[in-house]
Every structure is written in C-alpha cells, then in structure tokens.
Amino acid sequence: MSTVDIVVIAVIAAIVSLAVYKIVRDKKNGVKCTGCSECNLCPADVQNTVMGKAANKRKR
C-alpha cells in the first residue's frame, strides 16, 4: 500500500466521519432530520416519531 493510498483512505475516512459526526451532533442538539429545511414547521412529536423514538402522545 503506497503513501498516496494511505492519504486517500485518510481523506475518505475524514469525509465520512465528518458526515456521521454532523448527523450525531444534530440529533444531540434536537435536530432530528439532518438536512431538512422544514424543521421550523415540524413539531417535536412528529420529529420524534420520524426518527423512530417514542412519540409524545398527542391530545387532540
């Protein structure tokens, strides 16, 4: 394995890690759907359900 290969692996690993980190950090910050522009239209209970978490029981 050449040095260039190692550098490319490192670059790919860094890019993918950043993408995964962004998704995880978003979840921790309450942004449930990374890359959704409509977060401000979307109530918390829907976001929770969308992400497979226990939905807050809504009272109609």
Partner 1 sequence: MKIALAGNPNSGKTTLFNAITGKLEQVGNWAGVTVEKKEARVKASLNPRNENLIVADLPGAYSMSPYTSEESITKDFVQNEHPDVIINIVDSTNLSRGLYFTTQLLELGIPVIVALNKCDLLEKKGNTIDITALSDALKCPVISTVSTKSSNNGLPELIEAVVTAGKSGKKQLAPALGRARKISTKDEFERNDKKRYAFVNEVVTEVERRKVSSDKQTVQDRVDRVVAHKWLGIPIFAVIVYVIFSISQSWVGPWIADTFVGWIDLLYAQVSTLLGDNVNPVLGTLLLDGIIGGVGAVIGFLPLIMVLFFCMALLEDCGYMARVAVIMDRFFKLVGLSGRSIIPMIVGTGCGIPGVMATRTIKAERQRRTTAMLTTFMPCGAKLPIIALFAGVFFGDNSWVGTSMYFLGIFIIIIGALIVRRITGDYSRSFFIMELPEYRFPSLKRAAISMLTRAKAFIIKAGTIILICNAVVQILQTFDWNFRVVAEGAPDSSILASLASPVAFLFIPLGFGLWQFAAAAITGFIAKENVVGTLAVCFAITNFIDTDELALVGSGTDVSSVFGIGAVAGLSYLIFNLFTPPCFAAIGAMNSELESRKWLWGAIGFQMGMGYTAAFLVYQIGTLLTEGTLGKGFVGGLIAVAIIVGYVVYLMRKGTRDARIHGGLQSVKL
The binding site for partner 1 (CB under 8 A) comprises: 1-2, 4-5, 8-9, 11-12, 15-16, 19-20, 22-23, 33-38, 40-46, 49-52, 55, 58, 60
Closest separation in Å from C-beta 15 to partner 1: 6
DSSP one-letter string for the chain: --HHHHHHHHHHHHHHHHHHHHHHHHHHTT--STT-TTGGGS-HHHHHHHTTSPPPPP--
